[in-house]
Amino acid sequence: MEYRDAIFIITEELSCPIYNVGEELKVESMALTVPEAKPACLLLVQEVMKIVSNRQSMERFTPQGIRKTKFACGGCTGLIRFEFKKEKGFATLQMKLLAAAEQRQRMKHVDKFYDLLRKLDIFEPLEEDSLRDLSALLELKEYGANKIILKKGDPGTSLYIVVEGKVAVVSDDGQTLSEMKVGDVFGEMSLLSGEPVTTSIHSRERTKLATLSSKDFKHVLNKYPILQVFFYRLLVERAQANSLRSGTISSGMTGKLSDIHPVELFQLINTSTKTGKVELLFEDGKATVLFNEGELVQAVHDNLAGKEAFFSLLAHSDGTFSYTSGISEEAAALPVIGGFMGLVMEGMRRIDEQSEE
């Protein structure tokens, strides 16, 4: 049986578990090549091979002019429609040069994202070929300053990686809850949980994002199970951050001070009358703070202790923390280090004075 070489383009898609609109299917030398980094669907292979083995024209004349013949593959849970794009192969030198230019442009696209992804901890376990496959699936989106990228309540459709610029997590009343910079990832919570977007995301300046569609995200997780561990941990961290913002804290909770400032963290423990220990880790040191029924009873930061240690912690906005409920009997017997709100106000006054110097 003779097969024709040809290129088809997907024009419609409805719940197809693999392919997207705009992707190409290429037939050459009795073999079907699917989009890079995508698995080959056997149902699609059979359908396309049936088409190229038929000698009838893949274009038709209509009163409106020449139209491409549309084909469909719907043998599973989804459906795609595709049409003939052009004959495979390039007969002229000009067309061959065009094909080479297209290949160079595609490799430029892959290399651009590859260099970015290689620097991210999330993709560190992937081998070079796997990372290039992943890079080929990404698309670039650009936003001007102060534009809405995601709106609370929207369905989750993509994973986003900040390539350039800065974005902010914004509350219902317009307050900035946290900011994300180059290399940070967002949008994964909705994709993993299937729930709508829980917070709005705005661009703070001109921003470029690498995006991975929901379908391709699921494909990547299935193909590279090691990434499932990372995204699970990220999901837990984000869920904990949301709990903190809503005013709840529990034993074993960890987080970043970029998500909740020390002042807010300590106030949360105080208003909740919690008894427990907060351990903080910074690039240049660490600290421990103890609370007994919401009141401060001990604070140690490097060579500082008591009020001075507590005041120094209020100036930190970078680092991590962990909270554990309960303190020892000896710590429970310690006297309270002054009124909590008075300490906070004194500490903030000192920070303001230092910033004015």
Tens-of-pLDDT digits for all 357 residues of the chain? 455 678 888 888 888 888 888 888 888 777 788 876 677 888 888 888 888 777 666 665 555 555 677 888 877 778 888 888 776 554 445 545 555 555 555 556 566 777 777 777 777 777 877 787 777 788 888 999 999 999 999 888 898 989 889 999 888 888 888 888 888 888 887 887 677 888 899 999 999 998 888 888 877 777 777 777 777 666 666 666 666 666 677 778 888 887 778 888 888 888 888 999 999 999 888 999 999 999 999 999 988 999 999 999 988 878 899 999 999 999 999 999 988 888 888 888 887 777 665
What letter represents residue 222's amino acid?
A: N
Q: Where are the beta strands (DSSP E) in 15-138?
A: 24-28, 31-33, 59-62, 65-68, 70-73, 79-87
Contact 163, 209 (CB under 8 A): yes
Instruction: Please name the fold of domain 114-242.
Output: Jelly Rolls (2.60.120)
Q: Hey, what long-range contacts does 279-287 have (CB within 8 A, 24 or more apart)?
A: 279/321, 279/322, 279/324, 280/313, 280/316, 280/319, 280/320, 280/321, 281/319, 281/320, 281/321, 282/316, 282/318, 282/319, 283/318, 283/319, 287/313
Residue 274: C-alpha distances to residues 72, 249, 260, 325, 326 (Å)? 62, 9, 17, 7, 8
User: Under a CB-based contact definition with an 8 Å cutoff, are residues 243 and 249 in contact?
Assistant: yes
Longest dimension (CA), the chain: 92
Tokens of 282: 């910074």
With H, G, I as helix, E, B as strand and everything else as coil, classify residue 341.
helix
Beta bridge partners of 148: 202
Give the residue range(s) of CATH 2.60.120.10 domains in the chain: 114-242
Q: Residues 269, 278: contact at Cβ < 8 Å?
A: yes
Distance of alpha carbon 10 from alpha carbon 34, whole angstroms: 11
